[in-house]
Amino acid sequence: MLTSNYLLLLLLIPFVSALLIPVLGTRVVNAVSMAIAGLYFLVVLMGWNSWNLSFSADWYEPLGLKYSLYLDSYSYLLILLSSFLTILCLLYSWKVVEAKQKAYHSLFHLLQATVVACLLSEDLVFFYVFWEAMLIPMYFIIGVWGGPRRLYATMKFFLFTFSGSILMLIGLICLYVFFYQQTGVWTASFEVLREHFQSHPLPFYIEQLIFMSFVVSFAIKVPLFPFHTWLPDAHVEAPTAGSVILAGVLLKMGTYGLMRFAIPMFPAAAASFATPLSVLSVVGIILGAVVAWRQSDIKKLIAYSSVSHLGFVTLGIFALTETSWNGAFLQMINHGITTGALFLLIGFIYDQKHSRDIERFGGLAKQLPRFSLIFIIMSLSSVGLPGTNGFIGEFMILLGSFQSEVVSKLWVVLASTGVILSAIYTLHLVQKLCFGKPAEDNSFMKDIGWKEYLLYTPLVVLVFVIGLYPKWIIAPIHETTSAIFNLMPNGMR
């Protein structure tokens, strides 16, 4: 049985390695960094099934701020996903990223550390601190190793997310101060605040305002329409590994924040905003899909497809049923796997051809058969073909949303058209890329080798393992979902 020190270990390993890597010799950086990432993944795996651990230490005692950590299956699965994707990213970057390797690896570990800290935190201020701190490594990863318009993209990324979160800070401080004014105790502990404001509700409009301050911040990160405009820029300019982490982990922080903090804190306010927010999700689903269809830059296409897919996730969240939440959370994981894999695959051909223009490819199925096979599997998973992981997630979201009491069925029906649209743009991409006549000579391109096998095999395996036998992952998800729903007032369930 693991003790609470395990959480400390989870938190400290990436921090320490981020500090350790810069002092290593240049030659061993890659190996050591990957070894640490692998080790970390094993450490995370060890914690399977031992959630509900907690840890607490004083940060600033007079104002009741604590470094308090709590692990449930939500945060556990996302930490697992993040540590898994980090290994793949570092493996991918091996021999691809040659410039400033120490800083690169150090920043990835730092990013991992801040993400884990954010996922583990139970204290709202502590959460906020790492929610913001997460931006710094990503800012540098995009800005230093990114494409030609990286400065614009990274600035936009930072400012968008920062603007949202500073409003959340005000909302969060309001909660923190109101609690003090009502009880005379300073604390930012989520559980304590939640319990208190459930039994002593604030005036409803204040609840709504604070809820919205949280939602705006999370929605920008997700990103929910109309806050999505930073995402295509950031994705296009980010280095491949940066895109993978951005899509696979950072976007999930937004939906995680909604599920873990914003909605459990103010279920009533959430229900009152369910319709507008789910409409925005549906708009995101359809708009993202249509825009993705018209893209010629492959990375931009996948970025817009992320907007569309995460629209499903937010729809599931705002539908406020247990099934849709389970589906939404599963879809978060799926999206991390599938989109992460797609970005890695695009990165693989981009590194050879230095182009992402969809028109300049074609007929890759003949030249790169193994690549094309994996690409097609991942695309089908992204479409949500039965048998793949994407199907389970989308199905559960739609099923759950259809039973919802707060979201009209009309919106769910409209959302389901997103599934068709996603088939259109994804198959369009597959067709342009893998089939037909090549637009120009691609004969110099090499098919995937052992390193890429190592990269893609686990992802392909996961697609089918989740697609064919989802129970192993849905069971732990459901545990936390039902725990959260049990605490909500009766009208919500």
CB nearer another protein, residue 154 or residue 382: 154
Strand partners, 69: 55, 121
Q: Please report which helix (H) or strand (E) contains residue 347, including its range.
A: helix 322-353
Selected from 28, 170, 413, 475, the binder of another protein by CB under 8 A is 170
- Read off the tokens for 293: 């269809």
- Under the criterion CB under 8 A, does residue 176 sit at the interface with another protein? yes
Q: Alpha helices of 121-259 — where are they, by DSSP H?
A: 124-133, 135-145, 150-183, 190-199, 204-221, 230-237, 240-245, 251-257
Distance of CA 475 to the CA centre of its chain: 20
Instruction: Evaluate the omega torsion of the peptide bond into residue 489 and state whether it is cis, within 30 degrees of 0.
Output: no
Q: Could you tell me which stretch among 135-143, 241-249, 379-387, 453-461 binds another protein (CB under 8 A)? A: 135-143
Q: In whole angstroms, how far apart are CA 127 and each of 133, 177, 288, 435, 452?
A: 10, 17, 30, 47, 36
Q: Could you tell me which stretch among 6-14, 60-68, 235-243, 293-301 binds another protein (CB under 8 A)? A: 60-68
Q: In whole angstroms, how far apart are CA 101 and each of 96, 107, 143, 241, 309?
A: 10, 10, 15, 13, 33
Selected from 2, 20, 144, 454, the binder of another protein by CB under 8 A is 144
- Under the criterion CB under 8 A, does residue 163 sit at the interface with another protein? yes
Q: Could you tell me which stretch among 33-41, 89-97, 171-179, 275-283 binds another protein (CB under 8 A)? A: 171-179
Pairing type for strands 65-71 and 53-60 reads: antiparallel
- Under the criterion CB under 8 A, does residue 19 sit at the interface with another protein? no
Q: Could you tell me which stretch among 139-147, 293-301, 374-382, 454-462 binds another protein (CB under 8 A)? A: 139-147
Selected from 139, 402, 435, 485, the binder of another protein by CB under 8 A is 139
- Under the criterion CB under 8 A, does residue 155 sit at the interface with another protein? yes
CB nearer another protein, residue 243 or residue 480: 243
- Under the criterion CB under 8 A, does residue 162 sit at the interface with another protein? yes
- The backbone torsions φ and ψ at residue 107, rounded to the nearest 5 degrees and listed phi first, read -65, -35
Instruction: Evaluate the omega torsion of the peptide bond into residue 223 and state whether it is cis, within 30 degrees of 0.
Output: yes
Strand partners, 67: 57
Shortest CB 24 distance to another protein, Å: 14
Q: Could you tell me which stretch among 61-69, 191-199, 215-223, 426-434 binds another protein (CB under 8 A)? A: 61-69
Selected from 26, 181, 199, 486, the binder of another protein by CB under 8 A is 181
Residues of the shown chain interacting with another protein in the complex, contacts defined by CB under 8 A: 59-63, 100, 103, 125, 128-130, 132-133, 135-136, 139-140, 143-144, 150-151, 154-155, 158-159, 162-163, 166-167, 169-170, 173-174, 176-177, 180-181
